[in-house]
């Protein structure tokens, strides 16, 4: 060994200390990077930061921030609107866009699912390569020491192919063990990097289930309506707890209560009729253009109140408001009966 190389070599203890320093420095930097706070941003800064994280869906390699394509402009307008609302966080806004256009619009890949491989694989590869290099260097060193032994101190014979001593298949074990450890460490570190650096989208659910919002409660209520009236009434009631002026919930809850009450006695039907008329009247007051409330009012007033004249007026108004097909079908089937009751 030359004087220079002897000066460069470290004792095993010094090497361990050097490795420990590198490890600690890496951890400190990771923690610092994870915990850094860039401070409050203005709305425009937030819009810029968010749009730089989203790819233009119709361009190649451009972010929404730089693109002038109409789709990018629409996304930018939506981001600006949501930032202006001040309700959602940056991550939630990015999640909204990704939820609509798919993960391909994320310029920073997700830290979960198959996209996490983008983060994990390079780390695994790097750690495994470092592990392999360490093993090979150590073998090389041993080989050199062995060679010196032949020349000077009479060590055992050296295998030409591997540089290890003959008759020692166990010498392969360090390579395998090192590779296994490197693989495990690499995957572990890769997952950490993916979690730290990958895109996190808080609105997404693992099961893809719908969120518990007013819209989803209304949708669930509509699904339940025909077969499970009680659940539907409960769901509409939950909507009204948080949004007492929700016209759809007011209308359909009242309608389903009236339909259910028809199988009970006179007093219950009378109570249900009164509450239904009040609720439908409230819905019409809140949104005079909503056809369903007017249509149900006409049906209920005729079927349960026996007032053909008022019913006819309400049904005319209902048709003028262009009700959806289901409700139109109900009204059209009743129209002839109402006309007959009026002697038309």
Partner 1 sequence: MKPARIGALAVGFVMLALVAVLVVSDGDTDVGARSPLLGQPAPAIETTTIDDQPFTLARRKGSWVVFNFFNSTCVPCIAEHPSLVKFAEGERARPGGAEFYTVVNDDADAAIRDFFVANGGDWSKLRDTDGAIAVAFGVAKVPETWIIDPNGFVRLRILGAVTDGVLEAQMARLREGANS
Q: How far apart are CA 205 and CA 87, in angstroms?
A: 19
The residue within the footprint of partner 1, chosen from 25, 27, 77, 134 (CB under 8 A), is: 77
Q: Tell me if 245 sits within 8 A of 286, measured CB to CB.
A: yes
Cite the DSSP H helix spans in 202-265.
214-224, 229-242, 247-261
Shortest reach from residue 232's CB to partner 1, in Å: 11
Q: Tell me if 275 sits within 8 A of 302, measured CB to CB.
A: no
Q: By CB under 8 A, tell whether 23 contacts partner 1.
A: no
| Element of type H or E holding 89 | none
Q: Which stretch binds partner 1 (CB under 8 A): 20-28, 75-83, 139-147, 311-319?
A: 75-83
Q: What residues are paired with 248 via a beta bridge?
A: none
Q: Which stretch binds partner 1 (CB under 8 A): 96-104, 142-150, 189-197, 273-281?
A: 96-104
Q: Which two tokens stand for residue 163?
A: 């540089």
Q: By CB under 8 A, tell whether 298 contacts partner 1.
A: no
Q: Which stretch binds partner 1 (CB under 8 A): 137-145, 276-284, 285-293, 311-319?
A: 285-293
Q: Which stretch binds partner 1 (CB under 8 A): 14-22, 76-84, 257-265, 310-318?
A: 76-84
The residue within the footprint of partner 1, chosen from 140, 167, 306, 324 (CB under 8 A), is: 324
The residue within the footprint of partner 1, chosen from 4, 13, 114, 160 (CB under 8 A), is: 114
Q: Which two tokens stand for residue 264?
A: 């009970």
* # residues contacting partner 1 (CB under 8 A): 39
Q: By CB under 8 A, tell whether 229 contacts partner 1.
A: no
- CB count within 10 Å of CB 124 equals 21
Shortest reach from residue 102's CB to partner 1, in Å: 7
Distance set, CA 157 to CA 34, 163, 166, 168 (Å): 53, 10, 7, 11
Q: Tell me if 235 sits within 8 A of 248, measured CB to CB.
A: no
Shortest reach from residue 219's CB to partner 1, in Å: 4
Q: What residues are paired with 110 via a beta bridge?
A: 199
Shortest reach from residue 291's CB to partner 1, in Å: 7
Q: What is the DSSP letter of 231?
A: H
Pick between residue 75 and residue 261 the one whose CB is nearest to partner 1: 75
Shortest reach from residue 75's CB to partner 1, in Å: 6
Q: How far apart are CA 198 and CA 1, in angstroms?
A: 47
Shortest reach from residue 214's CB to partner 1, in Å: 9
Contact code string over 43-62 relative to partner 1, x by CB under 8 A: --------------xx----
Q: By CB under 8 A, tell whether 87 contacts partner 1.
A: no
Q: By CB under 8 A, tell whether 107 contacts partner 1.
A: no
Q: Among residues 298, 292, 249, which one has the least CA distance to residue 277?
A: 298
Q: What is the DSSP letter of 55?
A: B
Distance set, CA 282 to CA 57, 117, 244, 312 (Å): 44, 55, 11, 20
Shortest reach from residue 97's CB to partner 1, in Å: 7
Q: What is the DSSP letter of 200?
A: -
| 3-state DSSP assignment of residue 61 | coil
Under rule CB under 8 A, which residues in 165-184 are in contact with partner 1?
Answer: 172, 175-176, 179
Q: By CB under 8 A, tell whether 206 contacts partner 1.
A: no
Q: Which residues contact partner 1 by CB under 8 A?
A: 57-58, 70-71, 73-75, 77-78, 81, 97, 99-102, 114, 172, 175-176, 179, 208, 210, 215-216, 218-219, 222-223, 248, 289-292, 323-327, 329
């Amino acid at each position: 060994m030359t004087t220079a190389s002897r000066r460069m070599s470290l004792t095993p203890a010094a090497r361990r200390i050097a490795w420990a320093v590198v490890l600690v420095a890496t951890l400190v930097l990771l923690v610092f990077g994870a915990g850094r706070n860039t401070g409050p941003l203005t709305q425009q800064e937030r819009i810029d930061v968010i749009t730089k994280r989203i790819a233009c869906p119709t361009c190649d390699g451009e972010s929404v921030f730089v693109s002038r394509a109409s789709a990018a402009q629409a996304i930018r307008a939506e981001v600006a609107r949501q930032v202006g609302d001040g309700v959602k966080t940056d991550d939630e806004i990015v999640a909204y866009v990704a939820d609509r256009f798919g993960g391909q619009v994320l310029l920073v890949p997700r830290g979960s699912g198959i996209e996490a491989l983008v983060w994990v694989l390079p780390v695994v590869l790097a750690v495994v390569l470092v592990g392999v290099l360490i093993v090979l260097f150590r073998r090389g060193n041993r080989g050199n020491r062995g060679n010196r032994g032949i020349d000077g101190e009479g060590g055992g014979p050296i295998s030409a192919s591997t540089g290890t001593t003959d008759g020692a298949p166990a010498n392969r074990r360090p390579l395998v063990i090192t590779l296994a450890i490197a693989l495990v460490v690499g995957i572990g570190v890769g997952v950490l990097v993916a979690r730290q650096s990958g895109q996190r989208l808080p609105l997404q659910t693992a099961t893809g289930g719908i969120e518990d919002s007013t819209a989803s409660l209304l949708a669930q209520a509509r699904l339940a309506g025909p077969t499970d009236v009680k659940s539907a009434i409960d769901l509409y009631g939950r909507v009204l707890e948080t949004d007492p002026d929700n016209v759809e919930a007011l209308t359909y809850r009242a309608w389903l209560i009236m339909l259910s009450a028809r199988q009970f006695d006179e007093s219950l039907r009378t109570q249900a009729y009164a509450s239904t008329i009040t609720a439908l009247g409230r819905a019409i007051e809140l949104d005079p253009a909503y056809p369903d409330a007017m249509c149900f009012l006409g049906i209920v007033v005729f079927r349960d109140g026996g007032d053909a004249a008022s019913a006819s007026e309400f049904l005319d108004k209902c048709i003028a408001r262009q009700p959806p097909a289901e409700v139109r079908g109900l009204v059209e089937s009743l129209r002839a009966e109402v006309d007959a009751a009026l002697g038309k």
